[in-house]
């Protein structure tokens, strides 16, 4: 890892805690009763858990699973996305909600959406914690996003820098020191 600090908080734990039920109300209003939630590992695990807890208020009981899609090396995307851990949940004819930590180039979610569309899902919607305001490598728009974020590298609440900082309860910017 390059010399850096993570002192700059972009979204606090409290802001995240307040935003999630509002986002879940929005999702619940548009989602059918029987849907499947698939989190993309590893960045989505914390967001996924908080979304799920909040769905309880709407008496929604989605089946859940996780898949692993791998593309990132350090802080720059390699451009290729591979499915390295799959789910065996049956998705044919069902509504699927994909959950990821951050939408950046769009390659990861684009790949994930293709996978479940090809498997015959009735619908595939996407929900991200952060929508990075950057140029996408593929055109992609998330159906739901908790927060926008500038084109900076962020960590915390599941997001990592070289697999560190996932434990932070807030989202922080990684400031690189030269």
Exactly one of 63, 70, 71, 123 binds ligand IMP (CB under 6 A); that residue is 71
d(CA 152, CA 123): 32
Among 66, 72, 147, 176, binds ligand IMP (CB under 6 A): 72
157 touches which of ligand IMP, Mg ion, none (CB within 5 to 8 A by kind)? none
Cβ nearer to Mg ion, comparing 43 with 106: 43
Best CA proximity match to 138, nearest among 42, 47, 71, 84: 71
Strand arrangement of the beta sheet that strand 171-176 belongs to? 4-11, 171-176, 154-155
Q: Which does 102 bind (CB under 5 to 8 A by kind): ligand IMP, Mg ion, none?
A: ligand IMP
Strands 154-155 and 144-149 come out as unpaired
- State the Cα–Cα distance between residues 5 and 173, nearest whole angstrom: 8
* Residues annotated as part of the active site: 104
Binding residues vs ligand IMP (CB under 6 A): 43, 71-72, 77, 100-108, 132, 153-155, 159-160
Chain residues binding Mg ion by CB under 5 A are 43
């Amino acid at each position: 890892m390059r010399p850096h600090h993570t002192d700059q908080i972009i979204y606090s734990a409290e802001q995240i805690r307040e935003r999630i039920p509002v986002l879940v109300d929005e999702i619940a209003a548009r989602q059918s009763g029987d849907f499947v939630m698939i989190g993309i590992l590893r960045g989505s695990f914390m967001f996924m858990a908080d979304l799920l807890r909040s769905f309880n208020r709407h008496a929604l009981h989605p089946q859940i699973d996780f898949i692993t899609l791998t593309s990132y090396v350090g802080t720059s995307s390699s451009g290729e996305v591979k499915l390295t851990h799959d789910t065996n949940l049956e998705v044919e004819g069902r509504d699927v909600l994909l959950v990821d930590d951050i939408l950046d180039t769009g390659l990861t979610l684009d790949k994930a959406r293709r996978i479940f569309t090809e498997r015959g899902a009735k619908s595939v919607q996407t929900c991200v914690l952060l929508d990075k305001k950057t140029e996408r490598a593929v055109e992609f728009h998330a159906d739901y996003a908790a927060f926008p974020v500038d084109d900076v590298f962020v960590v915390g609440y599941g997001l990592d820098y070289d697999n560190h900082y996932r434990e932070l309860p807030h989202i922080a910017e990684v400031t690189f020191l030269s």
